[in-house]
């Protein structure tokens, strides 16, 4: 079967670093995505990993280990505006993208 | 500037009524999608379309219908046959097939409430 898991909620302090983990199981894999979604708004693309390793993009980095079915999103120098849900998703090939339920991140002052 | 426009943003429906959610994109993307988002669950695919006049069922197509008469437009009709239609509906597009050719671009969403 196919499934994807990520923590429901996390809380972190402004200026700190937070790591959001995601594990998945699938027979077909064509890349892993992270999206950010503020409440009541559209998800927006953050990162895409298709090979193992770390991809860095400013304050955001994403890591993938295909053999372990594991990814994480690392957010550095947290800002209040980073309070949002973070959706982990993988593509199985073709049209199908499987989304996790999302991790709600609360950034406190 | 380019993007995806969904309307209406909020919609209330009485039981037994059909409603149509609009989705228009000016990104010149071939592929378009409709997802449903419920609290505590991941986005679930309702329908997708790779090209004009062609569309395919996703994982939860029952009680929904779509059309793709123009490249820019992919409206979703929520019929009275959908047993639990209250949800947040997201329209998306991609250059090619999502994942294979890049990320999904999402509209702002339509929140449907059945009274």
pLDDT, position B93:
94
Q: Per the CB < 8 Å rule, is A41 touching B109?
A: yes
Shortest CA gap B55–chain A (Å): 11
Q: What is the pLDDT of residue A56?
A: 94
By C-alpha distance, the chain A residue nearest B49 is A95
- Facing residue for A101 by CB, picked from B40, B90, B103: B40
pLDDT in tens, A1-51: 889 999 999 999 999 999 999 999 998 888 999 999 999 899 999 999 999
Distance CA A64, CA A73 (A): 9
Residue B97: per-residue pLDDT: 65
Nearest CA in chain A to B101: A94
Nearest CA in chain A to B91: A42
Any CB–CB contact under 8 A between A28 and chain B?
Answer: no
Mean pLDDT across chain A: 94
Residue B98 φ then ψ, to 5°: -55, 130
Measured between CB atoms, does A46 come within 8 Å of chain B? no
The reply to whether residue B42 touches residue A99, judged by beta carbons under 8 angstroms, is: yes
In chain A, whose CA is at the least distance from the CA of B87? A40
Distances (CA, A) of B109 to A60, A68, A75, B17, B37: 25, 34, 26, 20, 10
How large is the C-alpha radius of gyration of chain A? 13
Span A45-62, average pLDDT? 95
Confidence category of residue B98, pLDDT binned at 50, 70, 90: low
Please report which helix (H) or strand (E) contains residue B4, including its range: strand B4-7
What does the alpha-carbon distance between residue A71 and residue A54 come to, in Å, rounded to a whole number?
A: 9
If you average pLDDT over every residue of chain B, what do you get? 92
Task: Output B110 or A93, whichever has higher pLDDT.
Answer: B110
What is the rounded CA–CA span in Å between residue A99 and residue A96? 10
Task: Say yes or no to pLDDT of A96 above 90.
Answer: no
pLDDT at B79: 94
Q: Which of A35, A42, A49, A94 to mutate to probe the B interface, most B CBs <10 Å?
A: A42
Please report residues of B whose CB lies closer than 8 A to that of A87.
Answer: 42-43
């Amino acid at each position: 079967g196919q499934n994807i898991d990520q923590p429901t909620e996390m809380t972190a302090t402004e200026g700190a670093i937070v790591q959001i983990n995601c594990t998945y199981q699938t027979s077909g894999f064509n890349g892993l995505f992270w999206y950010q979604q503020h409440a009541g708004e559209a998800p927006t693309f953050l990162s895409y990993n298709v090979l193992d390793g770390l991809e860095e993009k400013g304050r955001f980095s994403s890591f993938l280990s295909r053999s372990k079915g594991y990814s994480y999103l690392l957010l550095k120098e947290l800002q209040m505006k980073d309070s949002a849900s973070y959706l982990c998703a993988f593509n199985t090939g073709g049209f199908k993208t499987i989304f996790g339920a999302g991790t709600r991140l609360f950034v406190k002052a | 500037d380019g993007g995806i426009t969904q309307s209406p943003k909020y919609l209330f429906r009485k039981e037994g009524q059909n409603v149509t959610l609009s989705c228009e994109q000016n990104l010149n993307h071939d592929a378009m999608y409709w997802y449903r988002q419920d609290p505590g669950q991941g986005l679930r695919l309702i329908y997708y379309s790779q090209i004009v006049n062609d569309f395919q069922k996703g994982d939860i197509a029952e009680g929904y219908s779509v059309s793709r008469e123009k490249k820019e437009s992919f409206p979703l009709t929520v019929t009275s046959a959908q047993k639990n239609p209250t949800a947040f509906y997201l329209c998306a597009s991609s250059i090619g097939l999502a994942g294979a050719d890049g990320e999904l671009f999402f509209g702002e969403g339509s929140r449907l409430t059945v009274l």
